[in-house]
């Protein structure tokens, strides 16, 4: 059975809600899922899993969340080769840098050798029904690569 860790930072609960939606969707494919806040995990712990989904909100006008900075910076010291990873998060389209955290995480994962099969999932504020459908499609594509179906 494949194992995936979902790591997130969430201030208002929006990104946590996305993490939960993704976790439930992955479990439908018989994937063992662990969901943790970024302050409780070190990036090298992700190496114990087949893959990881990493999520964070974008604060203010394009800033990483304070509680996420250390995790993000420490990702630079980890070789994610052989791991299937992707990014997700929430933001506010009011700001010019919508969901920049998602882009930064995706870039870091690629730089560190991860297979990134899906473009980062970006949600405006809290997920609505359309966002849930996009999250389900995102999870399906991720799972296909994780399990070697694609």
Identify the bridge partners of residue 52 per DSSP, sorted by sequence position. Answer: 5, 85
Mean pLDDT of 58-70: 91
Q: How far is CA 127 from the centre of its chain?
A: 15
Q: Does domain 2-147 have CATH number 3.40.50.360?
A: yes
Tell me phi and psi for residue 120, to 5 degrees. Answer: -50, 140
C-alpha to C-alpha distances, 73 to 18, 77, 104, 109, nearest whole angstrom = 23, 8, 11, 12
Mean pLDDT of 101-120: 98
Which of 20, 26, 11, 15 lies closest to 146 in space, CA to CA?
26
pTM score > 0.75 for this model? Answer: yes
| Cα 102 from Cα 54, distance rounded (Å) | 8
Q: How sure is the predictor about 150, in pLDDT bands with cuts at 50, 70 and 90? A: low
Mean pLDDT of 65-75: 97
Which of 3, 25, 28 lies closest to 127 in space, CA to CA?
25
pLDDT for position 61:
80
């Amino acid at each position: 059975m494949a194992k995936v860790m979902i790591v997130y930072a969430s201030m208002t609960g929006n990104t946590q809600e996305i993490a939960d939606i993704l976790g439930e969707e992955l479990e439908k494919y018989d994937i063992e899922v662990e969901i943790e806040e970024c302050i409780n995990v070190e990036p090298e712990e992700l190496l114990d899993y087949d893959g990881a989904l990493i999520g964070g909100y974008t604060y203010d006008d394009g800033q990483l969340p304070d509680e996420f900075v250390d995790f993000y910076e420490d990702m630079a010291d980890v070789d994610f080769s052989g791991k299937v990873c992707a990014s997700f998060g929430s933001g506010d389209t009011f700001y010019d840098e919508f969901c920049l955290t998602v882009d930064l995480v995706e870039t870091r994962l690629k730089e560190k050798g991860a297979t990134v099969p899906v473009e980062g999932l970006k949600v405006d504020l809290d997920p609505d029904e359309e966002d849930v459908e996009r999250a389900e499609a995102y999870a399906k594509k991720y799972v296909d690569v994780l399990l070697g179906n694609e």
